[in-house]
Structure 1
Amino acid sequence: MRASASADLSGASDYIQGVNTLTLRIGLGTNTFGRTSDEAASRAVVDAFVDAGGTLVDTADTYGESEAIVGRWLAGSRWREQVIVTTKVGNHPEYEGLSTNSVTRGAEASLRRLDIDRIDLYYAHYQDDSTPIEESVRAFDALVRAGKIGRIGLSNFTPHAIAEWLRVADEGGYTAPIALQPHYSLLHRRAYETEYAALARDAGLEVYPYRALGGGFLTGKYRTELDLEGRARGAGVRGLLTPEGLGVVDMVRDVADAHNAPASAVALAWLIHQATVTAPLASATTPDQLAELVAAEALHLSTEEMAALTVASATYA
């Protein structure tokens, strides 16, 4: 089965003038904007991202001020036609779920915050078992036909629900999803590799993994309980402070040292080398951190290094 409306999204596609492929195979996650990064710092990061050739900027209606910050940045930049804007609906308290009402009102609210005419790639953020998939499919299709969104993506759906959405879209002649945003990294492999990778390949879906750096754990900055104190993401990575988790980090650092590269670049490069991955998403709070992420683009890992990383993370496979 193949998504009937699949575009050549080796990045985002023919629906953005002048952009046929991702210039940089990394997407910028903006969940830190307005949270751990104030607006000035956030704008500096996105400026550095596009200056480095980045085009995919990912946000969501539940990321606090992120959409508004991205919108104000877009309004003051010359990059709108080059930047691929992705956001999500379904988890905001005012537009919860994927009913027609939630999807339609959520899209309008995101368009206002982003101050744009069209969302380039719009995700159903979470599966909604209380709404028939047929209703959600029609709601997203209506937004495409109205020109308010360019393409459709799915995140945090079961494989069965993804397949059902594709089937309904295909049989009904509705616009089909062209992208998945799954949780996938060296520290979270099993679900994607056993349940989603083949589905994405067979359906021709683009794949943009989130938490690609394991909440920052794969950068190597968390080694002990003391390292978690005062950290915004400390609670989220505490469970990774195990011999197995630290073993993955040690292998990442070994490979990084061999290339004189940042550990974060190695973790992202491993994902970039996966056959079904289009571009991992990662966030940065400073331009210096952003530069470490961008270094993944030019990092060519050998077959032996890829195998060593895969073996070291086998506990998570």
Structure 2
Amino acid sequence: MTRIGNSDLDVFPLSLGGNVFGWTADREASFAVLDAFVDGGGDFIDTADGYSAWVPGNSGGESETIIGEWLASRQPKGVVVATKVSQHPDFKGLSASNVRRAAEASLARLGVDTIDLYYAHFDDETVPLEETVAAFGELVSDGLVRHVAVSNYTAERIREWVEIARRTGVALPVAVQPHYNLVHRNDVEGTIIPVAQEFGLSLVPYYSLASGFLTGKYRSVDVEGQTSPRASGAAKYATEAGLRIIDTLEEIGDAHGASIAATSLAWLRAQPTVAAPIASARTVEQVPDLLAGARLELTPDEVDALNRVSEWTPAKA
């Protein structure tokens, strides 16, 4: 188990991504994945109110609705649910009124009284940050949210949020959710991790497996014949340098009897301030690798080997 920042959230060190629920995993498949994750020891689920508004026929909130129906059906003990605000088509941005209405809508879809971890999904510079910070603080003081967090914020804006929260006496953020993995390192390591260390924040990275590239499934830039919506996103990493990372992951994983995906997640967990990488699964068969990635402990030499082979990574990929 791992603690998120200075909060009382003590979670399994891997978060199950809910972005696929209502998209590439229908209700039945989503229930099966959630069951397998919890049966295997998982207890931390990540979603957002905007998932999956981009799918034709969807309007946003589909993932939260499926998770809410699963929670009602299974009534699991101790499951921590994180969700986010700013991207639902009906609740765009981070004005105070919008944050409140979006949180209430998420609570209704999830069927819970309190959101465990509530993220500002994307920064909204059209709204004074003081207004957004106060809105999140009120959600905590009113009991709608236990802890607040930020996603896709720059280090400067995270620092500003913390300073405002301290000055006004409202709830401080406990986590940051950045895009971070073995093929996307520099910006996070150069700016986000230092500010997280300074303020005692935990990282809960998304795209932990680089849209599937870090599973080893995509070893060519040619995606012809691939039916997955993620194939083109993953294949762009299948360069000579990217494939050297896969080869190193495979070699280290073989020494542990672990998959490439599990080894990649284990590397991410070994990075400073990282509490629980986010990874999603469309099928039950994909869940064991995620659970293994939360339990695999790499040696310092193995972490160093992966650090070295991935040093080529551009800041923007």
TM-score, length of structure 2 as denominator length: 0.92
Cα separation, partners in 2 of 1:52 and 1:11, compared to 1, 3 Å: farther
Task: String of CA shifts for 1:256-314, please: whole Å, max 9, x gaps.
Answer: 12222111100000011112111111011122211011112332212221111111111
* Distance across 2 between alignment mates of 1:297 and 1:88: 23
Measure how far apart 1:248 and its partner are. 1.1
Judge conservation of contact 2:223–2:232 (CA < 8 Å) in 1. no
1:40-93, Cα deviation, whole Å (9 max, x unpaired): 1111111111111111100001112110000000001131x4011100001122
Identity among equivalent pairs (%): 44
Partners of 2:26 and 2:179 in 1: CA distance: 26
> Which moved further from structure 2: 306-315 or 249-258?
249-258
Aligned partner of residue 149 in structure 2, secondary structure: strand
Measured at CA, do residues 163 and 12 of structure 1 come closer, stay the same or move farther in structure 2, by a change above 3 Å? closer
User: Offset at 1:227?
Assistant: 6.1
Question: Map of 1:75-94 to 2, 5 A cutoff?
Answer: 75-79=72-76, 81-94=77-90
Amino acid at match of 1:171: R
Which residue, out of 304, 308, 311, partners 1:311? 308
Shift in Å, 1:136: 0.2
- Contact 1:183 1:211 (8 Å CA) reproduced: yes
The code of the aligned residue for 1:316 comes to T
Structure 2's unaligned 5+ residue stretches are: 53-61
Partner of 1:37: 25
Give yes or no for the alignment of 1:237 onto 2:234. yes
The answer for the alignment partner of 1:176 in structure 2 is 172
Matched, 1:281 2:278: yes
The residue that corresponds to 1:3 in the other structure is none
Contact 1:187 1:245 in 2 (8 A): yes
Decide whether aligned partners of structure 1 residues 263 and 27 sit closer, same or farther in structure 2, where only a CA change above 3 A counts.
Answer: same
Q: For 2:299 and 2:255, how far apart are their aligned partners in 1?
A: 11
- Of 283, 297, 301 in structure 2, the residue corresponding to residue 300 of structure 1 is 297
> Retained in 2: the 8 A contact 1:137–1:169?
yes
Does the alignment pair 1:21 with 2:10? yes
Distance change in 2, residues 1:138/1:86 (3 Å) = same
1:127 to 123, 128, 143: 123
Count of residue pairs brought into register by the alignment? 304
CA distance in 2, matches of 1:162, 1:63: 24
Higher mean alpha-carbon deviation, 226-235 vs 153-162, is at 226-235
Q: Aligned partners of 1:138, 1:67: CA distance in 2, in Å? A: 25
In structure 1, C-alpha distance between the alignment counterparts of 2:75 and 2:240, rounded to whole Å: 48
Q: How does 1:38-117 map to 2 (within 5 A)?
A: 38-64=26-52, 65-79=62-76, 81-117=77-113
> Does residue 241 of structure 2 align to residue 248 of structure 1?
no
For the 8 Å contact 2:21–2:66, the answer to whether it is kept is: yes
Question: C-alpha distance in 2, partners of 1:9/1:261?
Answer: 21
Would the alpha carbon gap of residues 11 and 163 (structure 1) be closer, same or farther in structure 2, given more than 3 Å must change? closer
SS in structure 1 of the partner of residue 236 of structure 2? helix
Query: Quick one: distance in 2 between partners of 1:21 and 1:231?
Result: 34
- Kindly tell me: are residues 127 and 14 of structure 1, through their superposed partners in 2, closer, same or farther at Cα, counting changes over 3 Å? closer
CA–CA distance in 2 between the matches of 1:88 and 1:97?
Answer: 11
2-structure distance, mates of 1:13, 1:291: 29
Q: Is the 8 A contact 1:248 1:313 kept in 2?
A: yes
SS at match of 1:274: coil
> What residue number does 1:149 align with?
145
The answer to whether the 8 Å contact 1:156/1:181 transfers is yes
- Find the residue that maps to 2:117 and give its secondary structure: strand
CA 1:158/1:11 → structure 2, altered by over 3 Å: closer, same or farther?
A: closer
